Structure 1
Amino acid sequence: GDDEYSLLVNLKRLHELQLSKPVKNDGLFEDMYRILSHLKEMDNEVKSFLLINMFLEVAWCLHAIDVENPSETSIEGLSSKQRSLFEQLYYFLVVLSNYQKEGRSTTVLSSR
């Protein structure tokens, strides 16, 4: 409904912002992860923008690491976000695809 539309509009704004510079908000990535984990019945476009924004956050974290002297904290943060993103991608690309092959009714984001 309206909440989903507002979320989509804000995700598109965040996407445009993240294309130009990193967005510093420690809890934002975790919020996007929780939304994907708990609200499975969302529009595919909303799910897509959540995944894209999570990917951009991972990319900015990688870009921010000092290659000459990487800190353990930055490596751990990047690894954690990468695992979370891959977990969500696995769900949408493999699990839902398998459900569809088994004849279960589901919308599959993997077609995007």
Structure 2
Amino acid sequence: MTVRRTVVVRPWPAFSMRLSVRTAVVCAVLVLVATAAAGPISFVALVAPRIAARLTRAPGIALIPAALTGALSLLVGDFLAVRLLSPTRLPVGVVTVSLGGAYFAWLLAKQARA
């Protein structure tokens, strides 16, 4: 015999407001922890869709190729961060920003010539 438990959501405005504030605080804390653990790898979000668009030659930005390109660039960045200077370890953010910056510099130079 199993007992089923159900969650009852009451339509009170004060309850829903407290729930949404709690949810927002929990989400903010989770983002803070993820950023602290992973480091600032912001260039991946900028570079991955552009590289994916160049590789797939799709008319718009395809989500799956951009996600796979971002995952691959992080994997390569992490591998280089661990193996580049073997006794010491570089942060992944340093490698991804370096690779992303080099790609953006190349892209800007190519667009300036065109």
Whether TM-score is above 0.5 comes out as no
Q: Select the structure with the greater relative contact order (CA < 8 A; seq sep ≥ 6).
A: 1
TM-score under structure 1 normalisation? 0.30
TM-score under structure 2 normalisation? 0.29
